[in-house]
Amino acid sequence: DQQVKQNSPSLSVQEGRISILNCDYTNSMFDYFLWYKKYPAEGPTFLISISSIKDKNEDGRFTVFLNKSAKHLSLHIVPSQPGDSAVYFCAASDGGSTLGRLYFGRGTQLTVWP
């Protein structure tokens, strides 16, 4: 049973425009959320995270928004660059009860074209 869902398997965006990647979750106990980026033949790398006590976290071109009532989070990349082309995984944790176990979505392949 997928507790973290990324319903868009792919997204294509022109360079310089905004990329918006979406993620939904079903477990109301999740209180910490992360985004990982993965290039081919490499392991995922941490990108940005947000705690459930916040609704927004920003790091340079990357901003994550959390809507707890909708159980939805999104990653905004502005402006998008060709080097951002990768698979983006959303992950969530309920921290206390599972010692930080991360539940990952299936990923969204982002392609940024010139």
Partner 1 sequence: EAGVAQSPRYKIIEKRQSVAFWCNPISGHATLYWYQQILGQGPKLLIQFQNNGVVDDSQLPKDRFSAERLKGVDSTLKIQPAKLEDSAVYLCASSLGSPRPEETQYFGPGTRLLVL
Site for partner 1 in 56-95 (CB under 8 A): 89, 91, 93, 95
Closer to partner 1 by CB, 44 or 84: give it: 44
Distance CA 84, CA 86 (A): 6
Q: How far is the CB of 110 from partner 1 (least distance, A)?
A: 15
Distance CA 37, CA 75 (A): 11
Q: Which two tokens stand for residue 10?
A: 């792919």
Q: How far is the CB of 3 from partner 1 (least distance, A)?
A: 11
Using the rule CB under 8 A, is 99 a contact of partner 1?
Answer: yes
